[in-house]
Amino acid sequence: MIELEEGNGFDGVSGKVDGRPFIVLKKDRPIVRKRLTALHEFVHQSVSLKHGLSKTAVEKLCHTFGGAL
């Protein structure tokens, strides 16, 4: 997990580099927001469109999971 100070309208993003997952969070967000965003992005690494879910369904699942913890 990496924290950045830059970016407007940016809370977090995830992806893979050379097959290895990463999560980037905006450094100046409150800890509760960073935790929700980190969990949201973690789910993005675990669930994808290849599981037959629409983009909207994936986003809803990620947000629900992140908010539940």
Supply the pLDDT for residue 57: 87
The number of distinct structural domains making up the chain is 1
Q: Which long-range contacts (CB under 8 A, 24 or more apart) does 11-18 make?
A: 11/37, 12/37, 12/38, 12/40, 12/41, 13/41, 14/41, 14/42, 14/44, 14/45, 16/45
The arithmetic mean of pLDDT across residues 38-52, rounded, is 83
Average pLDDT for 52-61: 86
Whole-model pTM?
A: 0.81
Query: Which domain does 59 fall in, by range?
Result: 2-68
pLDDT tens-digit map of 17-44: 999 999 999 999 999 999 999 999 999 8
pLDDT at residue 49 in the model: 64
Report whether pLDDT(48) > 80.
no
